[in-house]
Amino acid sequence: MTEKLDERYQLYERLGEGGMAEVFRAEDLRLGREVAVKVLRPQYANEKSFLDRFINEARSMAGFSHPNVVNVYDVGRDGQRYYIVMEYVPGEDLRRTLERNGSLPMKQAIDIARQMAQGIGYAHRKGLVHRDIKPGNILITPTGEVKVADFGIAKAMASVGFTEPGIVWGTTAYLSPEQVRGEVATAASDVYAMGVVLYEVLTGYPPFQGEDRVAIALKHLNETPPPFPDTLQLPRGVEFLVRKALSKSPAERFANADEMARSLGEYLRAGADATVSRPIVPPSSPTILPKAREPEPRREPAPRVPLPAPTQAEEAAGRLRAQRTERPTGMAPHTRTTSVSAQPGIDWVAVLLALLAALSLLGLIPLYLQVFSVVNLF
């Protein structure tokens, strides 16, 4: 293609296209530099709402200057053709990179997300929300530099324009839950979209997929992102960063892109090596359970040996001991001194009883005399 716009911009091959416009590699004949020119599709030239959006892109981006943002140089009109002149970025967009590679190594993915967040953070500080962050709008140079492009639906948060509730702009796979509900997009909405992009760069596919846009949108509203494949063995910090960015509630995400960029940069500098499989949220301290007591070995009870039946003398001695232990309270026990000195280890009572029992068996004395003698003895 060799068409010129305003006799200044020579258009060459087409670099890409979207719903609203086509992008061409071009040359600024006046300044002699290579540029990219976005040309609004002819069918939208008479649509005031689309035309306002298109012109607003150039005006909002004209004062931007950041290494991670595609700079805007000029805006013009050639007949019924409206165009924006931008910085030409050699390389390719992230969508083509993913189509070729499927996914990217972890550190490269984090570095791309960090640079992307730095560019979006700069726009947030300028009061702009991108609202259409996706791999097709992330350009990567041959040296690995990342530049965010296509602020075509970005709006100044302080202005009216296209920020009315109920209007949904953006690509469904990267829409935040609040955008799906038709609410006004904020910096937190961009953070959510960056979380979706980072998830996709790590895995090769976005977290939510479905048969159509409605099915995908409902998943953004109601479902939690699926866990990362165990084969990735992502570090705990990386999983936490992605999950935080993808929180359903804007208040639970990073406050803005700058905060997300700092967290990603801190992780890269730390160079953590620890890997975990699940979950992303750091677990609490483990609960230490008391050690179970080992069962004591079962001991078999000793065999019971039947005791011999007591003799008549032993029964009498037992009754005597019972009488002595049942004395009324307060009465001192009766003591008796004998001429026999007791020696430790000898039970003289048992000896005497045994002697009496032997005499009884021999018939030398009646049984009642045995009992009488025992009672008097004690």
Catalytic: which of 28, 74, 78, 132? Answer: 132
Which residues fall within 8 angstroms of residue 206, CB to CB, at 6 or more apart?
173, 174, 196, 199, 200
Q: What is d(CA 335, CA 321) in angstroms, rounded to the nearest whole number?
A: 14
170: left (phi over 0), alpha (psi -120 to 50) or beta: left
Strand partners, 74: 85
Annotation says 132 is catalytic: yes
Q: According to DSSP H, which parts of 210-347 are helical?
A: 213-222, 236-245, 257-270, 312-325
Q: What is d(CA 210, CA 206) in angstroms, rounded to the nearest whole number?
A: 11
Q: What's the burial of 157, exposed, middle or buried (CB within 10 Å: 0-12/13-18/19+)?
A: middle
How far lies 207's CA from each of 132, 134, 184, 219, in Å? Answer: 17, 13, 23, 9
Which residues fall within 8 angstroms of residue 338, CB to CB, at 6 or more apart?
none
Q: What is d(CA 246, CA 22) in angstroms, rounded to the nearest whole number?
A: 31
Residues with active-site annotation: 132
